[in-house]
Amino acid sequence: MSAPSSAGLLSVADALKAVLAAGRRTGQETVSLDAAFGRTLSADLTALRTQPPFPASAMDGYAVVSDDTQDPSRVLVVIGESAAGRRFAGAVRPGQAVRIFTGAPVPDGADAILIQENAVREGDTVRATVPVAAGWSIRRAGLDFAAGQVLLPAGRRLDGFDLALAGAMGHAAVSVARAPLVAILATGDELVPPGTAPGPDQIVASNSILVAGVARDAGARVLDLGIAADHAPTIAQRMRQARDAGADVIVTLGGASVGDHDLVRDALNALGFELGFWRIAMRPGKPLIHGRWGGIAVLGLPGNPVSSAVCALLFLAPLLRAMQGDPDAGADRSEEAELGADLPANGDREDFVRAALTLSRTGLPVATPHPVQDSAMLSTLSASRALIVRPAGEAARRAGETCRILRIR
């Protein structure tokens, strides 16, 4: 995804490296499985038990000696029953069978399961209509996993399947990375909260909602600092509020460019902010601020909604994953797709083009760029499922050619 940068601007790849390098791990805590969904493991999780702990039947039927099933005329005496949670205490000898149910322990002496569809039962006897081989329909002890085996590695973000496995491994609680706290501050005299009627020169602030969604999807907690007017001391006061609340990351929205009303950098500098970089060779999202304020990572995102979204997806989400120990936080997540429409030659910045996705006859996703790519258009962003990644200086492309995409849904 790396591309040559335009003069004086950092490339997207180099900017991401800088963001990840400045991130600090959040520490760890132990939580119950009920509270662990979406959390990131801070240490390898080892099985405390073997699963299954005994040879178990995979089907309903009869536990038998396999040699007894080779002759369909041989009659076996049924000597007992083995059910899940209630095993047969004795042993099976040649000429005998034990009625067994799925998940039940296989009795000693038996080496196969004659499934009930292939058995003829008459009173206390049974015979096989189909011969079975040794081991048939038996789950050996440890088939799933063995005690001491690492099944879930550190850095894994836990979903429902993982939590079920953790429980089966014998764990009621797990050690996870502390979820980072992200404080989000929108700036601008023109902004009003959703549900408030905007004045004649105002708009509704929606970027905070968008960025909060990206942060939560990356496993973070969110503190909404509201809207600050274009007044550097006010912005600085909200930053101190975030610090006092224990924020790990502060994200400002708007005010990151070079206009007379873009005051975020002034407010940050007054607080002793250490600038990492400012401005990236990308479209949308060129005026992005990154640095540290003490132990807090700071990202100053552009004010346009699409610019905020793209920067949050490319930089904030990987930063939050890295802070929780994800070893693949900085990995290239792009994939190959087929272009659904022509694209003109690209300029001197890496471009991220909003696109719809469909499926081609070849199995590749088809990425069709929306005809209008204005960075203020939330409706286009909501209708998009991917970003077409265009290197700086890329020649014009034709529909049907391959391209690279980043899925955003």
Structural domains in the chain, sorted by start: 12-27+178-323 (3.40.980.10), 32-51+144-177 (3.90.105.10), 56-139 (2.170.190.11), 335-407 (2.40.340.10)
Of residues 131, 141, 138, 139, the one with CA closest to residue 63: 138
Predicted local confidence at residue 262, as pLDDT: 60
137 and 112 Cβ atoms separated by less than 8 Å: yes
pLDDT band at 256 (very low <50, low <70, confident <90, very high): low
Q: What is the DSSP letter of 106?
A: P
Query: H helices of 201-314, where?
Result: 207-217, 232-244, 264-270, 305-311
Residue 169 pLDDT > 90, yes or no?
yes
Q: What is the DSSP letter of 75?
A: -
- Burial of 205 from C-beta contacts in 10 A (0-12 / 13-18 / 19+): buried
Of residues 221, 213, 225, the one with CA closest to residue 187: 225
Query: H helices of 264-391, where?
Result: 264-270, 305-311, 317-323, 378-383
HSE (CB half, 13 Å, CA atoms) of 73?
0
Predicted local confidence at residue 3, as pLDDT: 40
- Burial of 326 from C-beta contacts in 10 A (0-12 / 13-18 / 19+): buried
pLDDT band at 4 (very low <50, low <70, confident <90, very high): very low
Predicted local confidence at residue 278, as pLDDT: 87
Residue 7 pLDDT > 80, yes or no?
no
The chain-wide mean pLDDT, for the chain, equals 94
Q: Give mean pLDDT, residues 246-256.
A: 91
pLDDT in tens, 354-407: 999 998 888 899 999 999 999 889 999 999 999 999 999 999 999 999 999 999
pLDDT in tens, 327-353: 999 999 999 999 999 999 999 999 999
Residue 97 pLDDT > 50, yes or no?
yes
Predicted local confidence at residue 2, as pLDDT: 40
**pTM listed for this prediction:** 0.87
406 alpha-carbon distance from chain centroid: 14
Coil vs helix vs strand at 378: helix
Total Cβ atoms within 10 A of residue 33:
16
Predicted local confidence at residue 264, as pLDDT: 86
Per DSSP, the chain holds a count of helices (H) and strands (E) of 8, 26
Give the whole-number percent of the chain exceeding pLDDT 70. Answer: 97
pLDDT in tens, 58-80: 999 999 999 999 999 999 999 99
Predicted local confidence at residue 258, as pLDDT: 53
Q: Which amino acid is at 146?
A: A
Give the torsion sign (CA, 31, 32, 34, 39): positive
